[in-house]
Amino acid sequence: MTLTNIRFPEDNPFARIKLRHIFGWLLLCSIAIGFQLAIISSIWGIRLDNTEPFVNALLGAYVLILSLSLFWRECRLAGIEIKYLIGKVPERYQWLPFVGLAIASVVFSIGVFRIFYYPLSFIVPSFVERILTENRNSRILIAASKSFSPALYYLKFALNQLIDPVFTAFFLISIPLHRWAAKWGNITAIIAICLLLGTLAYQNFTTIIIGLLISAILYVKTRSLLVVIIFRILRNISFTIWNLSETIFFNTQTANILDTFRSQVQLGVLFFALSAPWVIGFIYKNWSVLKGPLPYFANAAEAEKIKADSET
């Protein structure tokens, strides 16, 4: 195995992974879980549907764990070494700029979201209002107040903040990146991942795309999925802090949500101006990294080199 990406199916273990099979199993499992909830709700006479925040959090954690199990199985069947996929945390890594990048990416996402949807709030107000309402109802304090057990909801929310980065790192970055890069090349694979997830989560596509793009750069640059997981945990913590502060300091429960959003466009411009040099500068400076060897093959080649040197 060399430092260059292996492009031939017979040599590339990722060519043996079929993402559509995993998507299919997840879809079937989700349908099965929905039927189970309907049956339990009917027998016990309690509400167990997607309008209950605690149930949402519990199902989210269950589906994430199930997804990771499916990925683990697919990797074993394809002959993929998980240790090469995950990699190691680089020694003497610059953690302070790393934390700053995570915070800046969140501030940038908030700013771009407000700037992008501001003109749309005049063109298609009902569409923007629906997105804003969904985002407001998903805030932790508001969602917890609607749950039958706020304490349990907070617990599941905290667990999801830790499980979700692991799921994202495997499901949305590592395996799709290596799989699709073997077919289309690195850059095209990354763009395809961003477009796919941005389309599926169109309400907050700016946040999704920015997070995925930076995560992909970090993964290829550090060759460590652990760094990506830490980065996404820091993003989740930053978003949670903003989520709480927005609920506490911006009381939009009684005010018109569109008017409140429009009145805060200056805040979006300020957030964009403060964070854009950091985020855009990071992407621009490291874009060429994406054209290099992918982490799995680089880690495998390094391990083989170390082994060969130790035998001589």
Structure confidence by residue, pLDDT tens digits, 42-61: 676 555 555 555 666 667 66
Contact at 8 Å (CB) between 52 and 156? Answer: no
Contact at 8 Å (CB) between 186 and 294? Answer: yes
Could you tell me the pLDDT band of residue 2, with boundaries at 50, 70 and 90?
very low
pLDDT, position 100: 95
Asked if residue 3 belongs to a domain, the reply is: no
When pLDDT is averaged across residues 267-293 and rounded to a whole number, the result is 92
Contact at 8 Å (CB) between 57 and 153? Answer: yes
Its pTM stands at: 0.84
Asked if residue 277 belongs to a domain, the reply is: yes
Q: How far apart are CA 224 and CA 295, in angstroms?
A: 7
Residue 130 CA, distance from chain mean position: 22
% of the chain surpassing 90 pLDDT: 25
Q: Is the pLDDT of residue 281 over 70?
A: yes
Asked if residue 2 belongs to a domain, the reply is: no
When pLDDT is averaged across residues 218-224 and rounded to a whole number, the result is 93
Q: Up-side HSE of residue 51: CA atoms within 13 Å toward CB?
A: 4
Q: Is the pLDDT of residue 149 over 50?
A: yes
When pLDDT is averaged across residues 264-272 and rounded to a whole number, the result is 92
Q: How many CB atoms lie within 10 A of CB 43?
A: 8
Could you tell me the pLDDT band of residue 4, with boundaries at 50, 70 and 90?
very low
Closest among 4, 166, 282, 195 to 175, alpha carbons compared:
166
Asked if residue 249 belongs to a domain, the reply is: yes
pLDDT, position 8: 46
Residue-averaged pLDDT of the chain: 81
Look up residue 169 and give its two tokens: 């790192």
Look up residue 236 and give its two tokens: 């989740």
One-letter amino acid for residue 117 of the chain: Y
When pLDDT is averaged across residues 272-283 and rounded to a whole number, the result is 94
pLDDT, position 114: 92
% of the chain surpassing 70 pLDDT: 82
Asked if residue 7 belongs to a domain, the reply is: no
Range of the domain at 69: 13-303
pLDDT, position 62: 72
Q: How far apart are CA 244 and CA 222, in angstroms?
A: 32
Q: Is the pLDDT of residue 134 over 50?
A: yes
Q: Is the pLDDT of residue 115 over 80?
A: yes
Of 26 and 178, more confident = 178
Asked if residue 212 belongs to a domain, the reply is: yes
Closest among 157, 210, 178 to 7, alpha carbons compared:
178
Closest among 67, 101, 76 to 222, alpha carbons compared:
101
Look up residue 232 and give its two tokens: 């996404």
User: Which residues are within 8 A (CB) of 92 and not within 5 positions of it... i.e. 6 or more apart?
Assistant: none
Contact at 8 Å (CB) between 293 and 4? Answer: yes
pLDDT, position 60: 65
H-type helices in 169-294, by residue range?
Answer: 175-184, 186-200, 205-222, 225-249, 257-263, 265-286
Q: How far apart are CA 241 and CA 87, in angstroms?
A: 30
Look up residue 279 and give its two tokens: 């985020």
Q: How far apart are CA 170 and CA 225, in angstroms?
A: 8
pLDDT, position 283: 93
Q: Is the pLDDT of residue 205 over 80?
A: yes
When pLDDT is averaged across residues 90-104 and rounded to a whole number, the result is 92
Q: What is the largest CA-CA distance in the chain?
A: 74
Closest among 310, 307, 291 to 3, alpha carbons compared:
291
Residue 281 CA, distance from chain mean position: 21
Q: Is the pLDDT of residue 17 over 80?
A: no
Could you tell me the pLDDT band of residue 135, with boundaries at 50, 70 and 90?
confident
When pLDDT is averaged across residues 266-272 and rounded to a whole number, the result is 93
Contact at 8 Å (CB) between 48 and 37? Answer: yes
Q: Is the pLDDT of residue 1 over 50?
A: no
Asked if residue 5 belongs to a domain, the reply is: no
Q: How far apart are CA 56 and CA 49, in angstroms?
A: 8
Number of independent structural domains in the chain: 1
Asked if residue 308 belongs to a domain, the reply is: no
Q: Is the pLDDT of residue 41 over 80?
A: no
